[in-house]
Amino acid sequence: MMSKPVLSLALTAAALIALAGLPMLVNGYWLSIAVNMMMYTALATSWALFSGPTHYIALSTAAFFGIGGYLVGSGMSDYDQSFWTMLTLAPLVATVLAALIGLVTLRLSGVYFVIFTLGLAELVRNLVSWVQNNFLGSRGLYVLTDLTEVHIYWMLLAITATVFLFGWLLGRSRLGFALRILGNDEQVAQHVGIDTARTKVVLFMTTGFFAALVGAVVAPRYYYVEPNVVFSPELSFLVVIMALLGGIHRLWGPLLGVIPFTLLWEVVTVSFPNSTTMVLGLTFLVIVYFVPNGVVGLAEKLLRRGAT
């Protein structure tokens, strides 16, 4: 008989294999929705791997996502590099940047860290726009490949599978054990000999790596990469909302936030394009006051109450 962790991993693998066949069943509009869901699942889950145990609310996803997309565009348009070369390079650059940022900023905590990471994304966006306008002669970059929406979906599915596997292995590693102690009490973690600064930086680097990788894969969808698109601060807020809505204390929790909120966001952006900021604000309030531990936390609370 399989153990519970192995059974969980087997079921996840089976679900991913089934999802690989989704493009055979849907196309056009619904395939585009599926691509969005897969993109946000990878981003929200990798974000939760860092922010869940550390309780650091990072709004830097757009910065790393944009670096991935922009480096692909720049490499292909300005330096005649292949998509696959830039796809390999982009997440490595983002990881190095995440390490440098983490070493400086993870000494901050609370609202200071939130403000800094949001400012970081805006700083990168404006810096790239300034360089593009003043030195490169154009505001955007063309990303022309033979990749279709189906290819992008499969690549995002592979990234999502990798994120889940990494999270599963992390939860059963010494680093994962250190993170759980750190999440409960950072001072206790320091007293028992855990290098809390290094642990947080390593996890922050993985978030940057996966966000840039997703951004690089998604770049061909845009055809024309522009800083205001790939570095959009809205992306950072969407990732945080989806992760918190589903629940960040379970590996599969963010998925429960991605599916409904992606559908809701599609309706809002199409039918009420001027109300997107209001919807983001209202959703934050609903999460804080009604489901602070996400849908997963609420369900577990109700189950415990029912058992007693």
Q: What is the pLDDT of residue 8?
A: 67
Give CA–CA dist 160/300, Å, rounded: 25
Tokens describing residue 288: 């804080």
Please answer whether residues 56 and 71 qualify as being in contact, where contact means their C-beta atoms are separated by less than 8 angstroms.
no
Eight-class DSSP state of 151: H
Q: What is the pLDDT of residue 209?
A: 97
Give CA–CA dist 55/301, Å, rounded: 20
CA 26, 32, 38, 44 torsion-angle sign: negative
One-letter identity of residue 243? A
Q: What is the pLDDT of residue 262?
A: 95
Please answer whether residues 239 and 43 qualify as being in contact, where contact means their C-beta atoms are separated by less than 8 angstroms.
yes
> Which residue in 152, 274, 265 sits closest to 215, CA to CA?
152
pTM score over 0.85: yes
Q: Could you tell me which residues come within 8 angstroms of residue 132 by beta carbon, excluding any fewer than 6 positions away?
A: 138, 139, 140, 227
Per-residue pLDDT of the chain (308 residues; tens, 9 = 90+): 556 666 666 777 788 888 889 888 888 899 999 999 999 999 999 999 988 888 888 899 999 999 999 999 989 887 889 999 999 999 999 999 999 988 888 777 667 788 888 888 888 888 888 887 777 666 678 888 999 999 999 999 999 999 999 998 888 888 888 888 877 777 777 777 777 778 888 899 999 999 999 999 999 998 888 888 889 889 999 999 999 999 988 888 999 999 999 999 999 998 988 888 889 989 989 898 888 889 888 888 887 777 66
Q: What is the pLDDT of residue 62?
A: 93
Q: What is the pLDDT of residue 121?
A: 82
Please answer whether residues 129 and 67 qualify as being in contact, where contact means their C-beta atoms are separated by less than 8 angstroms.
no
Give CA–CA dist 45/159, Å, rounded: 11
The upper half-sphere exposure of residue 48, i.e. CA atoms within 13 Å in the direction of its Cβ, equals 35
